[in-house]
């Protein structure tokens, strides 16, 4: 995941090859401007999407990218893999190699995956305190019961991590189809929760992460940009 900020001297060293002494000289002569303000310190933080200019010449700057992808089962939630197709392989976006995933989805699962180059946004969405809802449609082998609904709501002890899962919502949609809403993302969480009832998950499909939904007309393997409302409501940092 990319860093959120660089120091100004390191940034100018990476982009223009300037040594720190040259940066100091430019600063003293007020020749560096960051986001419209004259820069004044070598260690000044420079945001990953900042607009930096030296002597009025704008340096190339990264554009924030926020995508939603419809992952099909069988595709790996990773940027690169020697064997399996990854979600990055599915993208045609010119900045695809700079993107990272916002959380993961098991290889056997399908549905919504978010990709971005904005590390601050992805961290905020995944922060445990943010308790961002993730909503899944889950087909299980055997009948769903009220006992399962109660157990999901109460939380389950996972011995491996020695944690109690946070209250989860299980809505029964038909005999074997459920909508599950989680506010965390433990390893194979939903499969393990149904596993307690010896009720294997046959298919798992994510339809929402926070305010971002998977469009019904977005075909498997396809991606699109988040719209302005989703960006604003999910706290995309460059809008704030
Ligand atoms: N829970 C699972 O078991 N798998 C997923 O992909 C997501 C949640």
Q: How many helices (H) and strands (E) does the chain have?
A: 7, 17
Helix intervals (H) in 34-164: 87-90, 119-126, 146-154
> Which of 169, 179, 204 for a ligand 1 pocket mutation test, highest count of atoms within 8 Å of Cβ?
204
pTM, full prediction: 0.88
Q: How far is the CA of 231 from the centre of ligand 1 (A)?
A: 25
Would you state the structure tokens that stand for residue 111, as one six-digit string?
A: 């549905």
Residues of the chain with pLDDT under 50: 2
Summarize pLDDT for 121-180 with one digit per residue, the tens: 999 999 999 999 999 999 999 999 999 999 999 999 999 999 999 999 999 999 999 999
Q: What is the pLDDT of residue 11?
A: 92
| Residues sharing a CB contact under 8 Å with residue 213, sequence separation 6 or more, in sequence order | 112, 207
Domain ranges for the chain: 5-58, 66-233
Residues 112 and 213 sit within 8 Å (Cβ to Cβ)? yes
Q: Which fold has domain 66-233?
A: Pseudouridine synthase (3.30.2350)
For ligand 1, the distance from its centroid to the CA atom of residue 136, given in whole angstroms, is 8
> What's the confidence (pLDDT) of residue 28?
97
The position carrying tokens 């940034």 is 11
Start-to-end CA distance of the chain, whole Å, equals 21
Please name the residue whose Cα sits nearest to atom 2 of ligand 1.
Answer: 188
Task: Report d(CA 85, CA 76) in Å as an integer.
Answer: 6
Expressed in angstroms and rounded, the spacing between residue 209 Cα and the centre of ligand 1 is 13
Q: Residue 48 has what pLDDT?
A: 85
CATH match for 5-58 among 3.30.930.10, 3.10.290.10, 3.30.390.30, 3.20.20.10: 3.10.290.10
Q: Residue 190 gets which letter from DSSP?
A: H
User: What DSSP assignment string belongs to 109-144?
Assistant: -EEEEEEES-HHHHHHHH-GGG---EEEEEEESS--
Spatial contact of 129 and 98, defined as CB atoms under 8 Å apart: no
Q: Could you tell me the distance, in angstroms and rounded to a whole number, from the CA of residue 188 to the centre of ligand 1?
A: 5
Catalytic option among 55, 106, 142, 174: 106
Say if residues 118 and 225 touch (Cβ distance below 8 Å).
Answer: no
> What ligand 1 atom has the least distance to the C-alpha of 104?
6
Nearest ligand 1 atom to alpha carbon 185? 8
Q: Give residue 238's pLDDT.
A: 65
Spatial CB neighbours of 175, under 8 Å, sequence gap ≥ 6: 143, 144
């Amino acid at each position: 995941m990319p860093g959120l900020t660089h120091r100004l001297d390191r940034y100018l060293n990476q982009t223009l090859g300037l040594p720190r002494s040259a940066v100091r000289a430019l600063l003293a002569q007020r020749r560096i401007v960051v986001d419209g303000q004259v820069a004044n310190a070598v260690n000044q933080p420079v945001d990953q999407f900042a607009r930096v200019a030296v002597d009025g010449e704008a340096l190339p700057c990264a554009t924030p990218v926020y995508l939603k992808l419809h992952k099909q089962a069988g595709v790996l939630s990773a940027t690169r893999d020697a064997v399996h197709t990854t979600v990055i392989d599915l993208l045609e976006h010119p900045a695809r190699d700079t993107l990272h995933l916002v959380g993961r989805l098991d290889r056997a699962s399908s549905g919504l995956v978010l990709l971005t180059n904005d590390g601050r946004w992805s961290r905020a969405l995944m922060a445990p305190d943010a308790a961002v809802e993730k909503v899944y449609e889950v087909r299980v082998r055997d009948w769903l019961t009220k006992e399962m609904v109660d157990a999901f709501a109460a939380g389950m002890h996972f011995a491996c991590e020695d944690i109690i899962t946070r209250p989860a919502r299980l809505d029964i949609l038909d005999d074997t189809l459920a909508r599950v809403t989680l506010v965390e993302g433990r390893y194979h969480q939903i499969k393990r929760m149904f596993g307690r009832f010896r009720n294997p998950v046959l298919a798992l499909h994510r339809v929402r992460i926070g305010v971002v939904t998977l469009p019904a007309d977005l075909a498997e393997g396809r991606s699109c940009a988040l719209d302005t409302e989703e960006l604003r409501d999910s706290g995309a940092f460059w809008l704030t």
